[in-house]
Amino acid sequence: MSIRRAGLSGLAIALCSLSPVLVSRSLAHEIVGNRFFPATLGIDDPGVNDELSLPTFDSFKTGDIPPVRQRDVSGEFSKRITEDFAISFGSTYTFLGPVDATVPGANGFQNLETTFKYRVFKDPVHEFVMSVGLSVEWGGTGAQSVGADPFNTYTPTIYFGKGFGDLPDTFSWLRPIAITGQVGYAIPGRNFTTTFGIDPDTGLSTADTEFHPRVLNWGGTIQYSMPYLKSAVVDLGLPDFIDHLIPLVEATLQTPVANTLTSGTMTTGTINPGVIWVGNKFQIAAEALIPINRQSGTNVGFIAQLHLYLDDIDPRGIGKPIFGGPVQPASPFARN
């Protein structure tokens, strides 16, 4: 699920020229051999499952001049059609703080989003998985006052994940490490928008054209699974709470690559250190949002999420693929 970051508030557009930063929301967890890939908050993981992220909450200051405090509350539901194919639906409600005493804040829904995702490869021995997907942001379904575009945006994406459980015994302490990543290409349904107005000084008609860039959305995570360490490497006798943690660092980046006449080509995004606590039927996660440059934001924000594993909560009901029988629940704890 994509939400608008810096440079998309309608109230800020009235003051300055802004650039969009898109951050993808994650919605799924995946198990490959002994490897459990949790749902992460910055990018989507490489699997398909029946799950619900509700709520996800974030807060940060945008890269606008002057900056705007933005808070988002979002939810996303993912439903498997078959064991390897899922469709997800997501929505975000945005609160924008006032710019100053003369420009009030705004709030409203972002555009609805739908993602179609298909798992194309899974190698349990080498803990590797890959999926492909297409996300559609439905233009005109959200409020333009909070930056929702009036046109659709289509984003084909490749997702992958790799665990290091196949390392030799001499590197056994590195086996709990896993990486995930995604690369998407966002294609706006409209190349440009022209706004007509009247110059207050001369009374003459004016025309302002904004080009909508095609954006490379890319990012990745590196994570260290304490559940994997305990059940597939060595049990250190740590407290149970610690054995449920997955510390990680994410990067979520966006680079305009085409139709960039008015947007420029600067890469924006955040680096997100955080931690996930995983249970058998849900997980709780929190991360810091550290902007990589001034255009990405003006302070460190945060994001937190409650994520429910519907395929574990009700594997023969709402958590079962529409076509086909129940499949192996995505337990976060590796099995020897």
Whether residue 166 is contained in a domain is answered as yes
- Per-state percent for the chain, helix, strand, coil, to nearest 5: 10, 50, 40
- The total number of structural domains in the chain stands at 1
Q: What is the pLDDT of residues 122-137, one digit of tens each?
A: 999 999 999 999 999 9
Rounded to a whole number, what is the distance in angstroms from the first to the last CA of the chain? 34
User: What's the confidence (pLDDT) of residue 204?
Assistant: 81
Residue 270 half-sphere exposure toward CB, CA atoms < 13 A? 30
Give me the percent of the chain exceeding a pLDDT of 70: 88
Enclosing domain of residue 112: 2-313
Whether residue 21 is contained in a domain is answered as yes
Backbone angles phi, psi at 311, to 5 degrees: -70, -20
Whether residue 332 is contained in a domain is answered as no
Whether pLDDT at 22 is above 60: no
Q: What is the pLDDT of residues 307-329, one digit of tens each?
A: 999 988 998 889 899 997 766 55
Whether pLDDT at 113 is above 50: yes
Gap between the Cα atoms of 108 and 111, Å rounded: 10
Whether residue 328 is contained in a domain is answered as no
Q: Is the peptide bond before 66 cis (omega within 30 degrees of 0)?
A: yes
What 14-17 contacts at long range (C-beta under 8 Å, 24+ apart), as own/partner pairs, is: 14/103, 15/64, 15/65, 15/66, 15/99, 15/103, 16/64, 16/65, 17/262
Whether pLDDT at 13 is above 70: no
Band of pLDDT at residue 14, cut at 50, 70 and 90: very low
Scored b (16 or more CB within 10 A) or e, 108-136 reads bebbbbebebebeebeeeebbbbbebebb
- 15-19, 23-27, 291-295 — most confident range: 291-295
Gap between the Cα atoms of 272 and 250, Å rounded: 5
On whether the pTM is more than 0.75, the answer is: yes
Gap between the Cα atoms of 306 and 158, Å rounded: 25
Amino acid letter for position 58: D
Mean residue pLDDT of the chain comes to 88
Whether residue 335 is contained in a domain is answered as no
Residue 110 half-sphere exposure toward CB, CA atoms < 13 A? 30
Q: What is the pLDDT of residues 154-193, one digit of tens each?
A: 999 999 999 999 999 999 999 999 999 999 999 999 999 9
Tokens of 104: 């009030």
Determine contact, residues 35/334, Cβ cutoff 8 Å.
yes
Gap between the Cα atoms of 260 and 210, Å rounded: 10
Quick count: other Cβ atoms within 10 Å of Cβ 175? 25
- Which among 136, 138, 78, 142 has a CA at the least distance from the CA of 107? 142
Whether residue 325 is contained in a domain is answered as no
- Which among 29, 45, 41 has a CA at the least distance from the CA of 3? 41
User: What's the confidence (pLDDT) of residue 327?
Assistant: 63
Whether residue 334 is contained in a domain is answered as no
Q: What is the CATH number of the domain that holds 236?
A: 2.40.160.40
Could you give the C-alpha distances from 166 to 125, 159, 180, in angstroms and in order? 7, 21, 16
Whether residue 323 is contained in a domain is answered as no
